[in-house]
Amino acid sequence: MASKFNPPQYLPSTPRTELYFPQNPKPFISPPTTLIPDPKLVINGGSTLSGHVTISGSKNSALPILAATLCCSGFSKLKNVPCLSDTTTMASILESLGARVTSFGGDIVVNTDGIVSLEPDSSDIGKIRGGFFVLGPLLARFGEAIVGLPGGCDIGARPVDLYIHGLRALGATVELRWVTHFVASRSLQTLQY
């Protein structure tokens, strides 16, 4: 037995203006919100504050400066270097090249007279992003370098192409070899730094 389909009538046959434009519209009331006060420090009292605050060193400054010690021979002393795993790893990278690194009380002394390798330990380079900073100083001082791909980046892709373009603009030949290392060498022109 066949049934007859009768679609419902959603609109009345004769439009009524009050259906579309009611004479007394209901006001819109936003849902209640909880006001969260801005976090702030309130100090009550009539006395002047005084004292001393020790500011720690910056990791993002210490890593390139540690790499820059490779630009010159002899001793370099850095003060107020934070004691973090990244700065310890950078010290290991310098030691894998033959530098002697001594740290005491927030100061680090780097002696780069004993550099015997132009290829830092790839496992250490892969631990931190800043390990790649040794490429430029090695190239500037010794004319060549073999550096593994940087690691240590949990915030997403951060390419190193700006470093590579900069070295090429200075006249260096930089290429990716073995899919794991950047090899850089000076061209016949001397790098100016």
> What is the DSSP track for 134-187?
GHHHHHHHHSEEEEEPP----SS----HHHHHHHHHTTEEEEEETTTEEEEEE-
Phi, then psi, of 169 in degrees rounded to 5: -65, -30
Other beta carbons less than 10 A from residue 154's beta carbon: 6
Cβ atoms of 168 and 182 within 8 Å: the answer is: no
Among residues 71, 72, 83, 153, the one annotated as catalytic is 153
- 153 part of the active site: yes
Amino acid identity at 16? R
Cα distance between residue 21 and residue 99, in whole Å: 83
Contacts of 87 (CB under 8 A, 6+ apart): 59, 62, 63, 66, 81, 108
Catalytic residues, which ones? 153
